[in-house]
Chains A and B, each alone.
Chain A
C-alpha cells in the first residue's frame, strides 16, 4: 500500500501543528464557536448531539495493520473503546474532547493518517472498490488513481470552498462495488477498442434530497489526462454551481439544470484550455505509485486445496460462512474474506478497540498486513490462503466477526442517526437492530438471498437508502419518528434509485413492513431470482398492495 515520503509526512505533520494552534485559539477564547466552525470543519471535527465527532480519513478504504492498531489505541485512550466505520470507508470517533484532537491527529500522523477533508465543502475522501487489487474481474487497481486524486485534491487552493461537498469514487472492475454512479464524479476503468486502459467519466450522481444516477460525460479518458479533466469539471462546478440553496448546490443539480450536453460542452471547452499542460500525469508518477500497490509476495498454491475442500464438506457452519463471507481471489489458492461488522442485533459498522487489534493480528498472521474498509461498513482481509480459512473462521467466531450474513438481509447499512447526529430526524441504529434481530435465522437469511437494506436517519442519505433494495428513511412527523420505505434501489453497475412504496410507517411498524415485503418476494419469485430481479420484473404494485392491504 501507499507509504508517505518526506513531502507527504511534512504536509500532514504541519497540518497537525496548524490545527493545534487553531484549537488553542478556540480553547483560549480567542475564537468563538462561529469562527472556529469553518476551521474544525476543514478537519473532520463535527459538533454532534453529545460530543465532538472526529472523522478520520481511510483513503480508498485501505489500512495497514499498524494503522488499525493506532485506531484501536485512539479508541481506547480518547473515546469509549470503539469506533464506527462509515459508508465513506472512513472511521468516526463519537466521543472526542476538543482539547484532545491535536494529540489524536499527532498520533495519526505517526502512522501516515489524517482527518484532512473528511468534512467541509471540498473534495472528500476518494473511495474505491474494497476488493481492489484482488478481485478476479479487475482491469487495473483503482487505488493507484485514488492516491493520485487524493494528493491532487488535498488542500487544493481553488476547490476548498466549493458550493457543496464533492465525492469521487473509482472502480477498476466491470462489477461496480464502489457505487460510482451515485457519486459527484464516478470513474470506471475500462479498455477502449485499441486495448488501452482509461476511464469512463461519469458526473452528477448523488443521493441526498434529490437522488440521481450519474451520466457519462466522457466515455474514454486516457490516464494521463485524469487530473486536467477533473480540474476542468471542478472549475465549471465551482463557477456555476448554485450557492443560494444548500439543497440545490450539488453538481447533480447543475448538470440537471444546464443539461448534460451543455455541461459536457462547458467541461470539454475548459479542458481544451488546460489539457496537455502542467496537470499532465507523468508516467513516472503513475509508476511510482503503482509500485506501492504491487501484489504482495503470494505463494504459488495449488487449487483446489484438499484441507479446505475437506473442511467445507465436514463443517456445515463453516461452509455457510464461506458461501456468504468469502469471495474468489484472482490468485489460485487465495480468498478474500469479509468480516461482518453486523452481528445480530448489533450496531452496523461499529468495532471495539479489542476487535480492531485482533483484526490487525489476523491480517498479519493470515495476510500481508493489510485490511480494507468497505462502504458497506464491513472489514475485509484481502489475501487469505484457502488452506487457512477454517482456522481463521474459528478465530473470527470468537471475536463476533464471523456472522455469515454478508450481502444478506442482516448486512444492513445504517447511518448514526438521531442517536448521535445533529442533522437526523429519526434514529437509524435501533431500526437496524430490530430488523437484524428479526431476521436472525441464518437458514431463512440464506433462503431470502441477496438483499441490501439501507437506512438513513434523514434525507441527507448517509445510509444510502435510495440505493437499497429496501431503503428506509427516517422522517419527522409532528415530532414522532416515522420511516418511509423505498424499493428497488441499487448502487452497482445497473444502478437505480428506489421508488417510494407509500405512506410512511411508525417506528414499531417498520419490521413488520420489511417482513411483508420479503414475504411478498418469497411468494412470487422465480427460481434463482434475487429480490432485486423480482422487483424489476413485477414492479412496486404487488408490494404496495400487501403493505397497505389492511389500511
Chain B
C-alpha cells in the first residue's frame, strides 16, 4: 500500500508481518501484538528496528511498559466508522509518551486524515492509485480548531485569551511546532 506523510508520498521501509507468516531474519518489521507477547525477548534482541501493529480492540494499555521497544506503532481502522484508534493514538502520544512513527492502517479515508493527524498520527497507508496530493490537500481544509488535541495546535479558546508562552497548560498550543511532528507528551498535558 502507498504511504503518505504530510510531505507527500514516501517509501515504506517497514515490512508488516502477519500473524501466520514467518518472520524474516533481518530487517525492519512490524509485528502483531500476539507475536510480541509470545516472543518478547527474541524480538527485543533483534538488531533491526521493531514496530508493532495493534488492532482496534487492543488498547495501548496492553503495551504500556513496552512503548520504548517500538520505533513505529501501526493502529488499525478495520472500518472507517470504527474510531477506537483515535483514542489509542492520543493515549500513546499523550499518556504513554510514544515518540516514534504512528501510522494509520486499514480503512483510511481522505476526509479523515485531518482528524487522524490531530490525534497524533503522522503516516497514513492509503489505497493504491489515489491522488496523494489531493488527499493531503484535505489536511488543510479547516484552519480553526476548537479543542486541544495531540497536535498542539492552538485552539480558538487559547487564541482568544492570548495565553502567554510558557505559562502552564494549554498555552503550548498557542505557539505550536510543526503540527505533524510527533510530540513528546509532557507532564503539563497529562496533569
Contacts and interface: CB of A to CB of B under 8 A. Distances in A.
A284 interface: yes
Contacts of B188: 277-278
A15 B138 CA distance: 11
B124 to A, nearest CB: 14
A277 B141 contact: no
A157 B118 contact: yes
Interface in B66-117: 80-84, 86-88, 90, 95, 109, 111-112, 114-116
Interface string A153-172: 11111111110000000000
B49 interface: no
- Chain A residues touching B, majority SS: helix
B176 interface: no
Interface residues of A, number: 43
Contact of A15 (B81, B142, B148, B149): B142
B146 A158 contact: no
Given A38-B109, A273-B191, A11 B81 contact: no
B147 A156 contact: yes
Interface in A361-417: none
A282 B188 CA distance: 16
A7 B83 contact: no
Interface string A140-161: 0000000000011111111111
B160 A5 contact: yes
Interface in A264-294: 273-280, 282, 284-285, 288
Given A274-B190, A285-B157, A11 B169 contact: no
A10 B143 contact: yes
A165 B142 CA distance: 23
Contacts of B82: 161, 243
B188 to A, nearest CB: 8
B146 A155 contact: yes
A243 B144 CA distance: 30
B190 A158 contact: no
Residue among A8, A151, A243 with max Cβ neighbours from chain B (10 Å): A243
A155 B145 contact: yes
Contacts of B81: 38, 121, 161, 243
A519 interface: no
A14 interface: yes
Contacts of B111: 22, 38-39, 42
Residue among B112, B141, B157 with max Cβ neighbours from chain A (10 Å): B157
B59 A278 contact: no
Contacts of A151: 146-147, 156-157
Nearest to A239: B87
Contacts of B112: 161
A155 B148 contact: no
Nearest to A231: B147
B160 A285 contact: yes
A18 interface: yes
Given A155-B142, A161-B80, A285-B161, A7 B191 contact: no
B53 interface: no
A158 B142 contact: no
Interface in B44-78: 59
A530 interface: no
Given A38-B81, A157-B118, A276 B142 contact: no
A5 B157 CA distance: 11
A278 B141 contact: no
B84 A157 contact: no
A22 B109 CA distance: 13
Interface string B153-181: 00011011100000001100100000000
B136 interface: no
A235 interface: yes
A236 to B, nearest CB: 9
Given A277-B169, A282-B157, A157 B149 contact: yes
Interface string A56-89: 0000000000000000000000000000000000
B184 interface: no
Nearest to A280: B169
Given A154-B146, A276-B191, A277-B189, A160 B157 contact: no
14 contacts: A14-B143, A15-B141, A15-B142, A151-B146, A151-B156, A157-B86, A157-B115, A158-B90, A159-B86, A160-B86, A161-B80, A238-B87, A276-B191, A278-B188
A-B pairs with lowest CB-CB distance, top 7: A161-B83, A277-B191, A157-B118, A7-B156, A278-B170, A11-B144, A157-B115
Given A18-B141, A278-B188, 14 more contacts: A7-B159, A11-B143, A152-B147, A153-B147, A157-B86, A157-B115, A157-B149, A160-B115, A161-B83, A227-B147, A278-B148, A279-B147, A280-B169, A285-B161
